[in-house]
Amino acid sequence: MSTVMSRLPQTLASMSTILAILTSCSEGEIFSIDPIVSSGAVLQQQSLLTISGRATPGIHIKITTDWDFSVTSSTGVDSTWHAEIRTPAADTLTHQLTISSPNLDHFVSNILIGEVWLTADQTGSSPLPHSFMATSDTQDSSAVNLDWLDDNLVRFFQMEPGISSEPTSFAEGKWVRLSEGCSNTLNLTAACLAKVLRDSLNIPVGVISVSNSGSPCRAWVSPELDTGNETLNEASEWESKHNDLNDWLSTLPTINTSNPDGTDALPTTSVFDEVINNCPPDISEWHTLTLPGLWEHQGLAGFDGLIWLIKEVKLPRECARHNAKLYIGNLADNDLTYVNHTLVGSKSDTSSWSEPGVYNIPRSTLKTRTTIAIRLNGHHTSAGIFGPTDGTSMRLEIPDINFSTDISGQWAYVAAAKFSTDNNKLYLLGVPDNRYMVEFRGYDSRPNTHRGVVYNKMLTPLRGIPFAGATCHFGEADMNKHTFAESFTEEAQRFVTTLRLVANKEKLPVIFNQPPPPPQDKNNSSSLVRTSLVTAANKAGADVYVVSLADLGTKSEFNSMPRRQVEEGWRDARTILATVYGHSSPDNATSPLPRFATTDLQVVNIEFAHAQKLSINVDLPSAFEIAGEDSVFFPAKALASGNWVTMFSHMVLEPRFARYAWSDTVMPTLSGDGGMPAPAFCLRCQTTDEK
């Protein structure tokens, strides 16, 4: 977890970069240019571009281009200046701007003119790890070949992530060219998108990448679209609580998280370690979590740190005479797991990675009343236990006596230690029912869930910077809070409006990536978010598309995150080429978008846009379901014809709802032109009269 304060040194460094860019001034003169129009930039062709910067108040600025365009401006009392220039048609040449102040000329060189796209990502997708790069001596099936990642006509502006309670004027970041050497700093989805567009359009391509991990859609929406004062109230409440929390944390003992051996494993000594390992704790007053599950959903919103999980189970009298197995399954991030004070396993132990979270329990360890204790550390958006990968329950088994007991359900827990904002130390939180557990749960995370705070920091600097369209990966952060998931349709619509205000383009193309199913979901919030994108796209009207990633879930061949990112970028590029640039071919298509559903007696008919020839894979179980007014869904038979799907079930006499690929475990079966899968959806059926 990071906070506003933790980003201060990085922010100061970025501001220093801004002030240094193209600054070669006489004594007493101040001059800087917004980095988004700095050397190495890609500018949107045939558009009106606003160039901004800072200079000594009252001086005159003249901008000339090598494509015969010039304009003048002057600096206001706030030390900022702005000017608009018209860009020419795309070519493959490099261009130059000359910005003249009274004493010096400032040159912005190596500029390309082409197509610029914005990529917005609320999940903070990590750059490609070095371990996933395919090399001659790598046989890992998850590796990705990066030979194609080298193109001087593809450039990226990676915006520094952050939040702000007030609109900011200038971007933080720099332009870099696409190359294998920069793969550890770029989002692979954006890299693949840009490269495919570049190769297809044969002109330069630029990508402005904005990403803020863990921020729901509401944080990206312009405050101009909010009629209430929710932002002010949220920020004020958070600031008071956060200051109080930091004052309290400063009084607590700490331990360093670094290890002499250089490993990432946390120290084996922490608060409660001795208590857990030497005597059974009194857990009667502890809070509880439901496992499998994420702690973000269950009273630990925003908590980055370490918790102890305790479960007491009753076992047969003869259990001590036998070996046993403990099935915990996937977890995030790392654990130390004990059975009756005996360490039986840890995710950080590489010997256990062949079967994630499956630990052997030595003979004589078990008792008729056995205590299982898991010390789990993690970061709030994904921390928790997901359970066995094969979908079976968490359990303890004694094979010799054919005994198994389910250990999922309620586990007692206590927050034991909290990471500092730089993750270099742990605050030891004290005894159960410590002040954190009682007062501060949910208040210690940075306010990246507050309405408009990401927009203020990362989108307002783009006003006046034209781009051709936007691709958006949204949904995961909204799944983590059910209330956000419920309002996701409206927020996604507002976000489309926000992007169009920023770009000053009424019909700006917006491509939403419908997120793949998570490894574990609570309350069907992931299904709710995925279908909300479909609803939002239909309500927003033309030029809004949904690209399905439903088949890229944990059970598919794209399970490797780098492979999923490559596939996501490729699908985005196909959609853009088909819908924005009119490249019609089997290789250029978008996911079919369900527009509406109608009923005719017991039959449901669904019309799709962006598809001429739908097809259904009958070799897989049906992913289609229908329900009556009672919302009880039954599997349905489905037939595709043209851009229509007809559904029917003998179990539903009067269909009122139709849904597809709603479950997180079902494999999608419906595809459109070029094999692009349809997104998951749930529609209310209209009768013939209603339509």
Q: Which amino acid is at 25?
A: C
368 Cβ contact partners less than 8 Å away, ≥ 6 residues apart: 314, 315, 316, 317, 319
Tens of pLDDT, residue by residue over 406-426, are: 999 999 998 888 888 777 888
Q: Which of these three, 579, 604, 634, is where a domain ends?
A: 579
pLDDT greater at residue 276 or residue 120: 120
Map residue 7 onto helix, strand or coil.
Answer: helix
Residue 305, beta-bridge partner list: 378, 418
Q: Which amino acid is at 14?
A: S
Question: Residue 180 — pLDDT band, cuts 50, 70, 90?
Answer: low
Q: Do 173 and 30 fall into the same domain? A: yes
Tens of pLDDT, residue by residue over 581-615, are: 988 776 778 899 999 999 988 999 999 999 889 99
Q: Do 565 and 604 fall into the same domain? A: no
pLDDT of residue 241: 80
Q: Which of these three, 440, 469, 492, is where a domain ends?
A: 440
| Dihedral (CA of 497, 499, 501, 506) sign | negative
Q: Do 337 and 199 fall into the same domain? A: no
Q: Do 116 and 221 fall into the same domain? A: yes
Q: Do 214 and 260 fall into the same domain? A: no
Neighbours of 92 (CB within 10 A): 12
- Residue 295 placed within a domain: yes
Q: Tell me the CATH number at 168.
A: 3.40.50.1110
The answer to whether residues 626 and 604 touch, using CB atoms and an 8 Å cutoff, is: yes
Structure tokens at 354: 């062949």
Q: Do 568 and 600 fall into the same domain? A: no
For residues 282-299, give the mean pLDDT.
84
641 Cβ contact partners less than 8 Å away, ≥ 6 residues apart: 614
Q: Do 393 and 465 fall into the same domain? A: no
Q: How far apart are CA 427 and CA 245, in angstroms?
A: 12
Q: Return the CA Rg of the chain.
A: 28
Domain range holding 468? 8-226+451-579
Q: Please spell the DSSP secondary structure of 338-380, one letter per residue.
A: EETTEEEE-TTSGGGTTSTTEEEE-TT---SEEEEEEEEEE-T
The answer to whether residues 32 and 22 touch, using CB atoms and an 8 Å cutoff, is: yes
- Residue 359 placed within a domain: yes
∠179-183-189 over CA atoms, to 5°? 105
Query: Nearest 5°: phi and psi at 390?
Result: -90, 5
For residues 468-482, give the mean pLDDT.
85
Q: Which of 106-110, 242-246, 297-301, 667-671 has the lowest mean pLDDT?
A: 297-301
Q: What average pLDDT does the chain have?
A: 82
Question: Residue 183 — pLDDT band, cuts 50, 70, 90?
Answer: low
For residues 166-195, give the mean pLDDT.
81
Q: Which of 224-233, 395-404, 655-664 has the lowest mean pLDDT?
A: 224-233
- Residue 466 placed within a domain: yes
For residues 133-151, give the mean pLDDT.
50
Q: Tell me the CATH number at 261.
A: 2.60.120.260
Q: Which of these three, 579, 609, 643, is where a domain ends?
A: 579
- Say whether pLDDT at 442 is over 80: no
Q: Tell me the CATH number at 649.
A: 2.60.40
For residues 349-354, give the mean pLDDT.
49
Q: Do 421 and 283 fall into the same domain? A: yes
pLDDT of residue 397: 95
State how many domains the chain has. 3
| Residue in 55, 472, 421, 46 with CA at minimum distance from that of residue 246 | 421
Q: Do 493 and 422 fall into the same domain? A: no
Q: How far apart are CA 629 and CA 30, in angstroms?
A: 68
Q: Do 499 and 432 fall into the same domain? A: no
The answer to whether residues 43 and 120 touch, using CB atoms and an 8 Å cutoff, is: no
The answer to whether residues 601 and 541 touch, using CB atoms and an 8 Å cutoff, is: no
Of all residues in the chain, the percent with pLDDT exceeding 70 is 80
- Say whether pLDDT at 40 is over 90: yes
From residue 223, give the alpha-carbon distance in Å to each of 64, 131, 237: 36, 41, 18
Q: Do 427 and 464 fall into the same domain? A: no
Q: Do 363 and 466 fall into the same domain? A: no
